[in-house]
Amino acid sequence: MSPMKPKGQGRRGWRSGLTLIELMVVAIIVAILAAAAIPLMAGGKKKAMATEAVAALGTARTSLRTMYAETRDYTRTPSGETLAPMDPLTSIPGVTAAELAGKYFKEGDYSIESISRQTYVLKCAGSTGEVAGVVIRLDQAGNLQTQGI
């Protein structure tokens, strides 16, 4: 009676490693997972970039609230100057170009979209690189609207 060979043992003994077919199946699975994950990560990247603009708009909002506490009017600065739609955010007292210029959004991307004695909407419209087409709006109530993300 001949001894039974362990399963998988052939002429050359125990097999070691993976066959070409097994390696190809693993490569295909990895490619499918990567193809699904990359678009998800790209959206997250734009959202992360947009936080720069949200922070800058928040700084301008704080300055406007301070100004309103003094004048009871969003359109009038404490020194008597008038703010109008499409003015750059640097026209708001306390908001500097250095606070607006970031890695993704430039100083010129920010503006006052609309403003009245009681309300305002601040806007950041990305103009270059990966943030081109991203638009973020912030109003006096703190409501945030985003487009292009």
Give residue limits of the domains in the chain. Answer: 20-147
Least Cα distance to 92 among 72, 109, 115 occurs for 115
Strand order in the sheet with 110-115: 110-115, 120-125, 135-139, 144-147
Tens digits of per-residue pLDDT, 118-129?
999 999 999 998
Tens digits of per-residue pLDDT, 28-71?
999 999 888 887 777 688 888 899 999 999 999 999 999 999 99
Tens digits of per-residue pLDDT, 92-110?
999 999 999 999 999 999 9
Beta bridge partners of 136: 124, 146
